[in-house]
Amino acid sequence: MAGGAMAPTGPMKVYNGVVTTYVITACIVAASGGALFGYDNGITGGVVSMPGFLQRFFPGVTQGDSDVSQSTDHPTNPFCQYNDQGLAWFTSSLFIAGAIAALPGAYLTRLKGRKFSMLMAGLLFDVGVIFLAAAYHISMLIIGRVLLGFAVALASVAVTLYNSEMAPAQIRGRLNQIFQIVLTLGVFVAQAINIGTAHIYPWGWRVSLALAGMPAIVLTFGGIFLPDTPNSLIERGYKEQGRKVLQDIRGTQDVDEEFSDICDACVEANKVQNPWKTILSRKYRPQLVLAAASTFFQQWTGINTIIFYAPQLFVSLGVGEGAALGATIVTGIVNHLATYVSFHVADKYGRRILFIEGGIQMTTCLIIIAIVLAQTGVGKDDHVNEPWVAWFVLVFVCIYIAAYAWSCKPTLLCTTWHVCALCVWAAPGILTCC
């Protein structure tokens, strides 16, 4: 499977070589795959609040006659305005497609290599962007979102493995987290773009969606020009090519020890024909539960809802559309900057402390926000909007996002693999994409 040829876990072994510009550049280009999901996450919330987009595809939302508002006595409730089945399919189809594509994506990454999978992810994303930007019917939107979901799943598996296998052991954690840093940067850039395109009525949403193709083009060129990882080449029988790439990325000809260890890891990995059957056995059940539970609860924190619907949240609290998009920019900046905390702290103090602190901080913020919204009557027909509520909520949303950015997401990418034995690494890798 996709993660089969990683070097064995255990005490960190330092090999000959230096941290070369070559390997740093390769990892940064590959990490552009993180911008695929990040940009889409940031852009979608703004797009679904643009009148031109809603009037063309979801007129019921702008007319206040959504499914819920038609069947209740509260047609003006702001929390029901976006309750439209078509709109729900538009936003969720990417995640459904990603979950479906994760398993075959992992097989493809092993059989054809990390480089090939990154190329396919970039191409699929570009085609999906064309469907979205040129859409004239909701079916084109759904097709585009499905293609984006396939691309994001493929990139999430391939890029994380690529960076792990290219990086020297002593900085592997940091180079792995470049994926998350680029992802959060993509969110911020998308939110900033929405500020400008929101004023281009009625087709500004097309510009927002079309610009998603930029990071995909970078990833596509990476898939063409970057070398595959030594691990992947050796695993697929190209030992001499693998040795040559290893020498290039380590900046030395003396790579015999690391080359030998990778070869041994490949032999052990290839002995396991079905890692899913193995990880379901009693011996590996604790690792399976930990990998699945951490991924499940990471998604259950509600971060995607916050990122997707931040503009609508602030509009429902009584601020104008421009101010709502501005508040969303603030959350994007916090999300990106807080990621650097994990980048510098995780390898030094460990991931467990970040998980514990982040969980407590996120839970506290959500409870405070819920109490304030309940006490001020937000969402009720007789509610009078008070501007201070929106800014109060913004502060605690930022604190919540900061905790998520330095705990759950960046540490999860490494933890789900590191808790599992070599022979079953593919399974937790797929779980992180689902």
State the Cα–Cα distance between residues 370 and 404, nearest whole angstrom.
18
CB atoms within 10 A of CB 297: 12
Rg (CA), the chain: 23
What is the pLDDT tens value at each position of the chain, 434 positions in all? 333 444 444 455 778 888 888 888 898 898 888 888 889 888 888 898 888 999 999 887 766 544 444 444 444 555 556 677 888 899 889 989 998 998 888 888 888 999 999 999 999 999 999 999 999 999 999 999 999 999 999 998 888 889 888 988 777 777 777 888 898 899 899 989 998 998 899 999 999 999 999 999 999 999 999 999 999 999 888 999 999 999 999 999 999 999 998 898 888 777 766 666 776 777 777 877 877 777 778 878 888 778 777 877 887 787 777 788 788 889 989 999 998 888 777 767 777 888 889 989 999 999 999 898 888 766 565 555 677 888 899 999 999 999 998 888 766 666 665 666 555 555 555 555 55
* Amino acid identity for residue 404 in this structure: Y
pLDDT number for residue 121: 95
Half-sphere exposure of 193 (CA within 13 A, CB side): 24
State how far the Cα of 413 lies from the Cα of 37, in Å rounded to an integer: 15
Task: Give the whole-angstrom CA distance, residue 211 versus residue 214.
Answer: 6
Cα 143 to Cα 132: distance, rounded to the nearest angstrom: 8
How far is the CA of 125 from the CAs of 39, 43, 119, 143, in angstroms?
12, 15, 10, 11
pLDDT number for residue 351: 75
pTM: 0.82
pLDDT at 143: 96
**How many CA atoms lie within 13 Å of 307's alpha carbon, on the beta-carbon side?**
32
Distance CA 113, CA 103 (A): 15
| Contact yes or no for 204/52 (Cβ under 8 A) | yes
The answer to whether the bond into 387 is cis (omega within 30° of 0) is: no
Determine the length of the chain.
Answer: 434
CB-CB neighbours of 400 under 10 Å:
25
Q: Which amino acid is at 286?
A: P
Q: Which helix (H) or strand (E) holds 41?
A: helix 32-47
Q: State the pLDDT at residue 67.
A: 47
pLDDT at 430: 56
